[in-house]
Amino acid sequence: HPTNFQMEESSSLRPANCRSKGTGPGFKVAILGAAGGIGQPLSMLMKMNPLVSVLHLYDVVNTLGVMADISHMDTGAVVRGFLGQQQLENALTGMDLVIIPAGVPRKPGMTRDDLFNINAGIVKTLCEGIAKHCPKAIVNLISNPVNSTVPIAAEVFRKSGTYDPRRLLGVTMLDVVRANTFVAEVLNIDPREVNVPVIGGHAGVTILPLLSQVKPPSTFTQEETEYLTTRIQNGGTEVVEAKAGAGSATLSMAYAAVKFAEACLRGLSGDAGVIECAFVDSQVTELPFFATKVRLGRNGVEEIIPLGPLNEYERAGLEKAKEELAASIQKGVAFIRK
Ligand code: NAD
Ligand code: LMR
């Protein structure tokens, strides 16, 4: 096996006269952390996405195997693998969208903030690469704690003079996916028909589902509201505990990440009315970052959708969310400014 590989599928095994494959229309997408628990199913699902023409898989371990495996899928995207820091430049150059699930996951008893010490440095390094090699790419940041890693990424980009707040999105889609599922269970309807806006951030009480704005319009008893809010806020912990030390959500996260990436790519391709929730640079509250519904377009976030009317329970939740969020954002900013 080549140790320093950067090959396109199993190109070294092809006959010399093998006709080269055109990449066709579509977007170039890089996944950083592609060999991990999220990265592998995410890579597989992105290889199946017709909007993707080129898929770059980057990790610091095991990329060769994942790339070889996924490259055998008979879908359109050309897959290339990149291993280790010295190949980050080639992994990133020319990319339209960079998805980052790199970093360590939680074990039972840990908060997402307990991951800060390791993941902050990983996100910093990867974002320095993005600033240098594909500063115009849309970035979907999955690595936890999202409430701090997004401010870290923003500071890295700001420092390098490349910061475009429209292009940096913290992925909170899994909270929406969970909320849709749990609300559909309570309403006894198909989850595909449900849309729950989830605002704030991505940890504990900062995850704030707006049950008063559920589509289709629905009402909930106080007991249902409290059950649903708590279950949605603890969805990640529920999986961490069930996996009992073997990591956190990976499969539902890969599903959510692809749903979100696809929305970004549809926006990039000019589709109108693409709206999803994400943790972004925002003036919707006094905090510098906040998750709300956003409209996605050719430049990334084209519009931040206002919060809309909140009921008393949600207003109280918002105050709690903002308090914790402010500290997490500050911690991320300080990590780069220190
Ligand atoms: P994992 O340990 O299975 O995989 C992480 C991968 O990142 C590994 O393959 C590792 O080699 C790679 N990696 C580490 N350092 C790297 C670097 N410098 N460059 C590139 N790759 C690097 O973890 P996982 O279960 O896939 O979770 C990844 C992250 O996603 C965790 O921080 C987790 O908390 C987070 N997460 C976020 C959400 C969300 O909703 N935003 C949901 C689930 C998990
Ligand atoms: C999740 O919500 O599943 C992720 O943020 C992972 C975690 O640590 O809970």
pLDDT digits (tens, 9 = 90+) for 71-118: 999 999 999 999 999 999 999 999 999 999 999 999 999 999 999 999
pLDDT tier at 14, thresholds 50, 70, 90: low
Residue 237 CA, ligand 2 centroid: distance in Å: 7
Say which ligand is closest to the CA of 38. 1
Q: What is the pLDDT of residue 16?
A: 56
- Distance (Å, whole) CA 103 – CA 287: 26
Q: Which residues are catalytic?
A: 202
What mean pLDDT is predicted for residues 52-69? 98
pLDDT tier at 3, thresholds 50, 70, 90: very low
Check whether 189 is labelled as a binding-site residue: no
pLDDT tier at 299, thresholds 50, 70, 90: very high
Judged against a pLDDT cut of 70, whether residue 244 lies above it is answered with yes
Mapped to the 3 state alphabet, what secondary structure does the chain carry?
Answer: CCCCCCCECCHHHCCCCCCCCCCCCCEEEEEECCCCCCHHHHHHHHHCCCCEEEEEEEECCCHHHHHHHHCCCCCCCEEEEEECHHHHHHHHCCCCEEEECCCCCCCCCCCHHHHHHHHHHHHHHHHHHHHHHCCCCEEEECCCCHHHHHHHHHHHHHHCCCCCHHHEEECCHHHHHHHHHHHHHHHCCCHHHCECCEEECCCHHHEEECHHHCECCCCCCHHHHHHHHHHHHCHHHHHHHHHCCCCCCCHHHHHHHHHHHHHHHHHHCCCCCEEEEEEEECCCCCCCEEEEEEEEECCEEEEECCCCCCCHHHHHHHHHHHHHHHHHHHHHHHHHHC
Question: Is ligand 2 within 6 A of the CB of residue 256?
Answer: no
Residues 258-287: tens digit of each pLDDT? 999 999 999 999 999 999 999 999 999 999
Q: What is the pLDDT of residue 228?
A: 98
Q: In the predicted model, what is the mean pLDDT of the chain?
A: 94
What mean pLDDT is predicted for residues 304-330? 98
- Distance (Å, whole) CA 171 – CA 131: 19
What mean pLDDT is predicted for residues 64-75? 98
- Tell the residue number behind the tokens 């909320």, with chain if given: 179
198-200 vs 52-59, strand pairing mode = unpaired
Question: Is ligand 2 within 6 A of the CB of residue 178?
Answer: no
Residue 104 CA, ligand 1 centroid: distance in Å: 5
pLDDT tier at 338, thresholds 50, 70, 90: confident
Q: Which residue has the higher pLDDT, 195 or 8?
A: 195
Judged against a pLDDT cut of 80, whether residue 4 lies above it is answered with no
Residues 105-132: tens digit of each pLDDT? 999 999 999 999 999 999 999 999 999 9
Judged against a pLDDT cut of 90, whether residue 8 lies above it is answered with no
Instruction: Tell me what percent of the residues of the chain surpass a pLDDT of 90.
Output: 92
Q: What is the pLDDT of residue 255?
A: 98
Mutate to test the pocket of ligand 2, among 114, 118, 146, 174 (most ligand atoms within 8 A of CB): 174
- Distance (Å, whole) CA 83 – CA 67: 10
Q: What is the pLDDT of residue 2?
A: 36
Instruction: Tell me what percent of the residues of the chain surpass a pLDDT of 70.
Output: 93
Lowest average pLDDT, out of 21-35, 193-207, 289-303, goes to 21-35
Residues 35-59: tens digit of each pLDDT? 999 999 999 999 999 999 999 999 9
Mutate to test the pocket of ligand 2, among 143, 146, 198, 239 (most ligand atoms within 8 A of CB): 239
What mean pLDDT is predicted for residues 155-159? 98
Judged against a pLDDT cut of 90, whether residue 25 lies above it is answered with no
List b or e across 59-75, with b for residues whose CB sees 16 or more CB atoms inside 10 angstroms.
bbebbbebbbebbeeee
Judged against a pLDDT cut of 80, whether residue 5 lies above it is answered with no
Question: Is ligand 1 within 6 A of the CB of residue 35?
Answer: yes
pLDDT tier at 194, thresholds 50, 70, 90: very high
